[in-house]
Amino acid sequence: MKYVNSLIDDLKRRDFTINTICMDSKGNVIDLLHAKEDLNNKLIKTVGDPQIRLREDILRILRAVRFATSLNFKICDDVKQAIIDNGDLLGNLSYTRKKEELTKIFTSPNAPYGISLLQELGLDKHLELSNLSDLKVVDDILGIWAQLDVLDIYPFSKVEKETIVKVKEALDYDIDNYALYKYGLYVISIVASIKNIDKKSITKMNASLPIKSRNEIQLDVKKFCEAHNIEPSYWLKNTYEMLEKEILNGHLVNEQEAIHSFIANHLEDVLVAK
């Protein structure tokens, strides 16, 4: 884009009228394109013909929705129609750029309005958000993305992917001690938000877990093996999994004597299982 010396020429190149207000060095407001009027009326309008302006820069389609969402403004009718007419052009926009704008919409305090706009304007299909109507708005963006089947479409970091996968898995289970132990407080707190469960109760439940990790299980492997003349091998993995469930479900006290006795009573089954 070339620099121009004329202010009006520069303003005419901007996307929406609300972005055209200027101020000179003396603090005087300059409003050549009647932006104040649109601000007062809470309207999103393009500078010039919306059909042309949106085709010039496809990202403006999502920016219009994002500004309307964050500011709680309406999108004027001709801009809405232009978005509907040109929504398919979003297929030419990178998923990274689409994700950035969608994240801003989803994390806005006014997110439900933004989501309704995406649906009203038919953008959900162009953005490949097939289950947007079922989305529960929560205060964690990964909790939102986890509800949308886009993990193989939109770009996510390794950590983001791992969290999203865990949230999707945990959503299929009831929230109990074992789920908290397996997935952790962060993931289960997201799940609780989606399921409309009070997160304070989840925090309280987490604080009262009898164990937080496998290392806390009071099993002395060497002592147990010597007492029963066996070698530590494949059976340990299954044994630890069994102990975790029994302790977390409240069926077994996490004390060495009780744990060694429990394993001894199930030793035949433990040694057979592989």
Per-residue model confidence as pLDDT tens digits over 13-31: 677 888 777 777 778 777 7
What is the reported pLDDT for 274?
58
* Residue 75, SS3 per DSSP: strand
Looking up tokens 């989803």, which residue turns up? Answer: 106
Range with the lowest mean pLDDT among 33-37, 46-50, 140-144?
33-37
Range with the lowest mean pLDDT among 5-9, 185-189, 191-195, 201-205?
5-9
What is the reported pLDDT for 14?
75
CATH of 214-272, one of 2.30.29, 1.10.246, 1.10.10, 2.60.120: 1.10.246
Question: Looking only at Cα atoms, what is the longest distance across the chain?
Answer: 91
CATH number for the region 1-135 comes to: 1.10.110.30
What is the reported pLDDT for 234?
85
Kindly report the pTM of this predicted structure. Answer: 0.85
Residue 35 above 90 pLDDT?
no
Query: In the chain, which residues fall in CATH 1.10.110.30?
Result: 1-135
Q: What is the C-alpha separation between 78 and 64, in angstroms, rounded? A: 12
Query: In the chain, which residues fall in CATH 1.10.246?
Result: 214-272
The token pair at 104 is 């801003």
